[in-house]
Each structure stands twice: as structure tokens, then as C-alpha cells.
Chains A and B, each alone.
Chain A
């Protein structure tokens, strides 16, 4: 409007102005829509796959609970679904899984967090430049390798260190827990270290300026400020430990579900049951087939509860820094 008025008042000045560029699009940008659609499709795919997994878990699970009551499943103490007169008390293998997870966390949380504190606060730059990538490589070690390490090295070693325990057979649920612990140490260390390093340097300086020494700065300032990231690391590791299959299959053995709490003996976990049972020659639609999915659903539910619980915990305790 103003431009055209000016143009009409003084045509000479208007002639010298650069021509106005058109505001309308020269041609419709179809490419942009295609890209947008493709990205949306990718996002939808991952959600869709998750839903599909849940549905495929649930359908046989419902079939299972038509034959076995929920109460019997959750409170029974005998687990022998493969037999003709099978028992479907899931507690022994739940206890097996929990044993592995608790031992793994007992091993991995102290080692992982102390390494993280060392790397984030103490380690000279050169040391860190070596250890941090090493941790990340360790995270990628195939679990079957750790399983073999546990079976052939840790298990005999454990017998030498703790000769008073009731070692029988080649398997040990306790050693399996330790092996799973070793698996998740790098995960805890690496993720917690990232969380601690992202605590602003200003907070450290503030504490140092009050005459705090390094240990106090690390434990009273950096660690609490990073707690949400640290809890996330532990939860991630815990989910991994719950779901870990190969190591427990190799080190704790796939048979012998029991409620003995004897760490020196083999025991079955939920994942080991699934992994050991879901072989090619299992007939679909049978009770045993449905049992696998029922155990899978329970596993899924346990991980979900752990995650929800952790989210609440973090909300309550985290220290938000800017």
C-alpha cells in the first residue's frame, strides 16, 4: 500500500527501487509434504509395532487364563507347565528373576556409580579419554560372551572364594546375578556420568568457594543435582537385568525352577523359561504355548511397574537446576 503510493507520487524514485519480490509461492512445495508424511509414518510405525507386540502378547495370555486361574498362576509355588499334569504357579521363576535382578543391582550400582563419580569429577582428562570409550565398548559386548565368561570362569571362581556354600551342578543363580551385574555396570556408569557432567559448573564453583573439598562437592552437590539422570540409569539397567535371557540361561540353567533361594544352585528365571521353552517344535494354541505368553506379559508388566515407580521417585527427589 505505502509502496504503491510512494511509487505514484514520485515515479523517478520508484524506478530506482529494486522490484518487489512476489510473496506468493512460485510453485506448490509437494516435496515438503512428502517428507512430513514420511516422518509421521516412521513415528507411527514404532508406536504401531509396540501396540502389535502388546496385542500379540495379550491374545494367548487371555487364552491361558481361560485354563488356569489368575490366583493359581500368581500364588502357586510349583512350576511345571510342561508336564502332563502341569503346575502353573509362577512364583518360583519370578523369584528366580528377582534374585538375579537384586544381585545384579547390588553388584552394579556401587561399581557403576563410583566409576561415574570418578570419571565425572576426579579423572584427569587423559584417563577419562581412555575409560569412557572402553565403557561404551563394554556396553556392546554380546551377552552370550558374558554368559560363557560366567559359566566357565566366574562359577568355578565363586566356588573357590566361597567354598562353604552348597555348590551342586554346573549352574548357579547367584553367579548368574553377578554376571548380569557386570553386564549393566557400563550402562549405569556411562549414563550416570553423563548426568553428572551436565550439572552446571557454577554449582561446583559455588561449593568449592565455600571451602568444600572434592568429595563433598561430588556427593552433596553434583550427585543430588544429577539424581534424576542417575535413577534413570539404574531403571534402565534394571529393565535390562529383568529382561536378560542369554546369561541366565547359560549360567543359571533353564531347568530346576525352585523356591530354595540357594544362590549356589541353578534356578529358572522367567526369561530362561521362555527362552528354553519357545523352541520350534512347540505347537501353537496349546497350554504350554499360551504359558509362554502369560509369562511374557507378566515380565512386561513388571518392567512397566518398575518404570512408573521410578518416574514417581524421580519427580519427588530430583533437584532441578536451570
Chain B
């Protein structure tokens, strides 16, 4: 199981045979993780207060931390000369739900988009620092962003189903990966995984855009998990939805945790509290008229919402926004 080559894709999810798994990541031997968080030896930079070792967390928090999926080391993202978010160092753990919260403009979405190289699509964007994915730098010279996105999927703020049938929406990803067989099963499994199957099984040929907003977003989640990624990034997935649809998506996110590592950006603090295991709070620092986001505090969600270490976190979560 702990072979180097295909650990990030098929190591945990054996249903990915036949895809070109070799290219995207070439993780170190620790990546697939033996027991006891094999990555602990790699976390030497204890000087950063933001960088929490799993060992420390395990003592205090009740959340179960598994292996590290992402290690961010002093990550900064700039658009042109403007630094949108600076010097973020944090770890994201496997099969955890990690929430990124904070006020508008604090760079949480920008940071999220670094994790599957979506920022590459913005010509002026530049990423400094290291985003380590299972031991390999995502921005390393041999890494192909197209392959990265096959392993690290994304769900967007506004539901964006393709103007195609429900079936074709879900099948798009697998077809992109060259899968041709058992497409019906793949589509059904993904739709079941997104808790949408019962609602759409009789109208798979109708247009994805004919669904309600909440259904569209679940379709987008089905589309994302149809390629069996390891990680699903969610950029405020409920911000365009009504409260009932939001609750459904939140239930779904909790279910998805069994199979996927999830990083979710949200404006809604209650949502972070309801669904996430770990929460990172970001804030905005304004200097010389330029606003740069920074990571204030990263800890177990329960700790963030009960006894935050930083005053700014406390102000934000208690509604005294400062």
C-alpha cells in the first residue's frame, strides 16, 4: 500500500485504476503515512506560532488528526504587485474538514485556489512559499497543474453546472480522465455520494441548469467526486443557497469526510462550527492603503470557537468585528 508512485491517488481509493496516476505527485515514502503521523519528523519549524504539530493538537483537541495532506510553508499570493495573502503556514490533515474563515478580502478564497493551482488561470497571480502535497511541492517544476486538479477537486461559490444533461455533467470528469467503461455506475455512485440520486434518477437527461440552486450545487459536488479525488476544495459552497439547501449541503459535507479531505472557505461562522474539525481564522492587515490577508489562528474548531488564543479571533466569532 505504501508504494511511492501512486499513493496520493489510489493509495486510499482503489477505484481509480486505469488513470494516469504517475504524473501528478511523487510523494515521499511518508506520504501514505504509517501509524502515528509519520510526518511529525518533518515539522521542524516550531518557531512559527501558527504551525501546529499534530502531536500538540492530539493532546489538547478531541479531533482525530491523521496524516498531513497539505503543508503550507510561508505561502503568499500576489496579484501583480498586490499581495493578497501573506506568509501562511498551516497543515491540512487527511479526512478532516478544514474551514477557512475570516472577513471579506482576507485572502481565504485566494489561498484555497492555490491548493489545486486554480490561480494559474489568473495571469497576474504569483505564489511564493511552498505548498507541499504529500511531500511534493505543488509548484515544483515537474508538476502539471492539469494532473493536480484531477486529484484535488473543487466546488465553487456559485453553482456552475455545465449547460449539459445531468448525466453528462457528472460524466465529464471521468471522460476527461479517459474512462469509458461503466460510466452509468460511476455516474450513479457519484450522484448517490452527493445525496442527489433519488431526486434526479428519473431525469438524468434533463439539463443540469433545470435543477434548483441547492440541487445544482450538489450536482457540482457529484461532478467533483466522480473522478475520485483525494481532496475536495469548497469555496463558500452555500453562499448562494437558501437555509434549507445549505443544511443539506452541510450534511453532505459531513458524510463526504469519510472518504475525502475537505477544505472549505466560508463566511458563515456557524457553518464552520457545524461542519469543520479544524478552523483557520484569517484577518486583514491594512498598511499603506493595501490590504493583505494573514492567518491569525489555526486550531481545532472547538478551541477556536470556545477559547480562541487571539483577541481578533474572539472579536470576530463573537460578532465584535474589529
Docked-complex contact B176 and A209, CB < 8 angstroms:
no
Please give 9 more A-B residue pairs, beta carbons under 8 A apart, in addition to A208-B118, A209-B118, A216-B176: A206-B220, A207-B172, A210-B149, A210-B150, A210-B224, A211-B176, A224-B164, A319-B162, A320-B163
Given contacts A206-B220, A210-B173, A210-B176, contact A321 B150 (CB under 8 A): no
B122-177: which residues lie under 8 A (CB-CB) from chain A? Answer: 123, 146-151, 153-154, 156, 158, 160-164, 172-173, 176-177
Q: List residues of B whose CB falls within 8 A of some A CB.
A: 116, 118, 121, 123, 146-151, 153-154, 156, 158, 160-164, 172-173, 176-177, 207, 209, 220, 223-224, 227
A195-222: which residues lie under 8 A (CB-CB) from chain B? Answer: 200, 202-213, 216, 220-221
Report Cα–Cα, A205/B116, bound state, in Å. 12
Report Cα–Cα, A278/B117, bound state, in Å. 65
Given contacts A210-B224, A211-B173, contact A320 B209 (CB under 8 A): yes
In-complex Cβ contact of B153 among A209, A213, A319 (8 A): A209
In the complex, what residues of A have CB within 8 A of residue B160's CB?
200, 202-203, 205-206
Docked-complex contact A206 and B146, CB < 8 angstroms:
no
Docked-complex contact A205 and B156, CB < 8 angstroms:
yes
Docked-complex contact B146 and A209, CB < 8 angstroms:
no
In-complex Cβ contact of A210 among B163, B164, B223 (8 A): B223
Q: Nearest chain-B residue to A321 (Cβ)?
A: B163
Report Cα–Cα, A220/B156, bound state, in Å. 20
Q: Nearest chain-B residue to A209 (Cβ)?
A: B154
Interface size on A, residues (CB 8 A): 24
A53-89: which residues lie under 8 A (CB-CB) from chain B? Answer: none
Report Cα–Cα, A210/B209, bound state, in Å. 18
Docked-complex contact A210 and B121, CB < 8 angstroms:
no
Let me know if A32 is at the binding interface, CB within 8 A: no
In the complex, what residues of B have CB within 8 A of residue A202's CB?
156, 158, 160
Given contacts A203-B162, A211-B146, A211-B149, contact A322 B176 (CB under 8 A): no
Report Cα–Cα, A205/B157, bound state, in Å. 11
Of A209, A225, A321, most buried by chain B (CB within 10 Å of CB) is A209
Docked-complex contact B156 and A210, CB < 8 angstroms:
no
Docked-complex contact B154 and A220, CB < 8 angstroms:
no
Report Cα–Cα, A205/B159, bound state, in Å. 11
Report Cα–Cα, A63/B65, bound state, in Å. 91
User: What is the distance, in angstroms, from B214's C-beta to the closest C-beta of chain A?
Assistant: 15
In the complex, what residues of A have CB within 8 A of residue B153's CB?
209-210
Docked-complex contact B162 and A206, CB < 8 angstroms:
yes
Q: Nearest chain-B residue to A216 (Cβ)?
A: B176
At the interface, is chain A mostly helix, strand, loop or mixed?
helix
Q: Nearest chain-B residue to A320 (Cβ)?
A: B163
Docked-complex contact B121 and A205, CB < 8 angstroms:
yes
In-complex Cβ contact of B172 among A125, A213, A220, A225 (8 A): A220
Given contacts A206-B223, A319-B164, A322-B209, contact A212 B146 (CB under 8 A): yes
Q: Nearest chain-B residue to A221 (Cβ)?
A: B162
Docked-complex contact B224 and A209, CB < 8 angstroms:
yes
In the complex, what residues of B have CB within 8 A of residue A220's CB?
172
Report Cα–Cα, A215/B177, bound state, in Å. 14
User: What is the distance, in angstroms, from A206's C-beta to the closest C-beta of chain B?
Assistant: 4
In the complex, what residues of B have CB within 8 A of residue A205's CB?
118, 121, 154, 156, 160
Report Cα–Cα, A69/B177, bound state, in Å. 62
Q: Nearest chain-A residue to B120 (Cβ)?
A: A208
In the complex, what residues of A have CB within 8 A of residue B150's CB?
210-211
Docked-complex contact B118 and A210, CB < 8 angstroms:
no
> Can you give 18 contacting A-B residue pairs, CB < 8 Å?
A200-B160, A203-B163, A205-B121, A206-B162, A208-B149, A209-B116, A209-B149, A209-B154, A209-B156, A210-B150, A210-B176, A210-B223, A210-B224, A211-B149, A211-B177, A224-B164, A319-B162, A320-B163
Report Cα–Cα, A221/B223, bound state, in Å. 14
Docked-complex contact B172 and A210, CB < 8 angstroms:
yes
In-complex Cβ contact of B156 among A206, A211, A221 (8 A): A206
User: What is the distance, in angstroms, from B224's C-beta to the closest C-beta of chain A?
Assistant: 7
In the complex, what residues of A have CB within 8 A of residue B121's CB?
204-205, 208
Q: Nearest chain-B residue to A214 (Cβ)?
A: B146
User: What is the distance, in angstroms, from B213's C-beta to the closest C-beta of chain A?
Assistant: 11
In the complex, what residues of A have CB within 8 A of residue B164's CB?
224, 319
Docked-complex contact B176 and A225, CB < 8 angstroms:
no
Report Cα–Cα, A125/B122, bound state, in Å. 12
Of B118, B147, B153, B163, most buried by chain A (CB within 10 Å of CB) is B163
Q: Nearest chain-A residue to B149 (Cβ)?
A: A211
The 8 A CB mask of A301-319 against B (1 = contact, 0 = none) is: 0000000000000000001
A207-258: which residues lie under 8 A (CB-CB) from chain B? Answer: 207-213, 216, 220-221, 224-225
Report Cα–Cα, A247/B150, bound state, in Å. 52
Report Cα–Cα, A252/B202, bound state, in Å. 58
User: What is the distance, in angstroms, from A199's C-beta to the closest C-beta of chain B?
Assistant: 9
Report Cα–Cα, A129/B56, bound state, in Å. 55
In the complex, what residues of B have CB within 8 A of residue A319's CB?
162-164, 207
Report Cα–Cα, A75/B218, bound state, in Å. 59
In the complex, what residues of A have CB within 8 A of residue B158's CB?
202
Given contacts A202-B156, A203-B160, A321-B163, contact A211 B227 (CB under 8 A): yes
Q: Nearest chain-A residue to B161 (Cβ)?
A: A206
Report Cα–Cα, A163/B162, bound state, in Å. 50
Of A200, A204, A207, A320, most buried by chain B (CB within 10 Å of CB) is A207
In the complex, what residues of B have CB within 8 A of residue A212's CB?
146, 172, 176
Given contacts A206-B156, A216-B176, A320-B209, contact A211 B163 (CB under 8 A): no
